[in-house]
Copies of this chain bind each other. A is one copy, B any other.
Amino acid sequence: MRVVLQDEAFDVAAEVDAVAREAGVEAGAVAMFLGLVRGGDGLRALTLEHYPRMTLARLSAIAEEVSARYDLLGCTIIHRVGTLGVGAPIVLVLAAARHRGASLEAVETMIDWLKTRSPFWKREDYDDGRQVWVEARAADDAAAARWDL
């Protein structure tokens, strides 16, 4: 299991190799999700704020819970924070398993939980100087209902 919070970009190939190595010869499937800063409408950058004392513990809890639920052989979560330009990678999630179903479902679950159960907030910075906090989507929100205030 590998959980990383960092400002810098990550090396996708190195991470895929690492999770496959962690998984060993029993692994038949590696699934990945890579989130990028989506451009358009004059977006200049995305700023990711987080809750430093809490974030890494949450990421670890997600990786552990998902690894157990899907019997993963390898699992990686890397989330960036700070200001990222259009097209920049934000988050990388990898799951290695014996079979494809588990790896794909594990990745989907991890990225859902990263969006709903991890203390990150995105702010959009526009060319014209506007700064707009991204609102949680209703769909994401519903999934997080268990800790609604």
* A18-37 at interface with B (beta carbon < 8 Å): 20, 25-37
When C-beta atoms are compared, the residue in chain B nearest to A139 turns out to be B101
Tell me the count of chain A residues lying within 8 A, CB to CB, of chain B: 30
- Contact A108 B104, beta carbon cutoff 8 Å: yes
Counting every copy of the chain, the complex holds 2
CA distance A62 to B96 in the complex (A): 24
Q: Report the minimum CB–CB distance from A38 to chain B (whole Å).
A: 3
User: A16 vs B17: C-alpha distance in the bound complex, in angstroms?
Assistant: 14
Give A26 to B41 CA distance when docked, in angstroms. 10
Does A59 count as interface, using CB distance less than 8 angstroms? Answer: no
- In the assembled complex, the CB of A137 is this many whole angstroms from the nearest CB of chain B, namely 10
15 chain-A/chain-B pairs, Cβ below 8 angstroms:
A25-B87, A26-B38, A26-B40, A27-B36, A28-B35, A29-B34, A29-B35, A31-B31, A31-B33, A32-B33, A32-B34, A100-B111, A104-B104, A104-B107, A104-B108
Is B25 touching A86 in the complex (CB atoms < 8 A)? Answer: yes
Instruction: Given A13-B11, A108-B104, check contact A38 B34 (CB 8 Å).
Output: no
